[in-house]
Structure 1
Amino acid sequence: MFRRREAVPFAFVAEADRFRSNVTPPPRQRISRSELLSRALIGLVVTAGLAGSLLFGLPSLESGQPSGQVQQPEVAQGR
C-alpha cells in the first residue's frame, strides 16, 4: 500500500547543517618514507609516460607538408 510520510519541520533541516559532533576523529597517521617515495615514483612514472606519449605522438599528427606552404596543383604542360 502506501506509506505515511511525516512532515519534517524546516527548522530541523536548517539545524542539521550546523550540527557538530562531540566525537573527535582519530589523528591522521603520518606517511612513512617508503610510502612517500613510492607515491613520488608512481607520479614520476605517470608523468614520464604522458610526456613520452606526447613526444612520440606529435610526429604522427603532422601532415607531412610544411605548414607555411600550400601545395599548388600542377598545370598540364601541353598547351
Structure 2
Amino acid sequence: MEGGCMHRKSRGRFHSLPGYPQCSLVNGVVNFFLARTDAAQRVGFDPQLKRVAHSEFFMDGLGSLMVASCGHVSIGHQKKN
C-alpha cells in the first residue's frame, strides 16, 4: 500500500543491443561487472557491503543504469583446477 515491489525474474533479458547481437539488456549481473566510474558513483555503493550487495546496487540503479550481459564474454576470476 505504501510502496512498490520488484519481481526479479531469473535469466530475464530484454532486447539485444544494436550492433552487438550476442549482448542483451538486463536488470543486473552477478559476480563481475565493468562500469563507467561516473555511472557507478551516481548510484553509489556502500563499501561495507561490497562483497554481498550486488543485487542492491543494481536495484538502486534501475532507471539510471544501462546494463547488458554478453554471452560470448567470460571472466575467469575464480578459476578451478
Band of TM-score, shorter chain: under 0.3
Task: Tell me which protein shows more strand as a share of its residues.
Answer: 2
Task: Tell me which protein shows more helix as a share of its residues.
Answer: 1
TM-score, scaled relative to structure 2: 0.15
TM-score, scaled relative to structure 1: 0.16
Q: Which has the higher contact order (CA 8 A, sep 6+)?
A: 2
**Which one has a bigger Cα radius of gyration?**
1
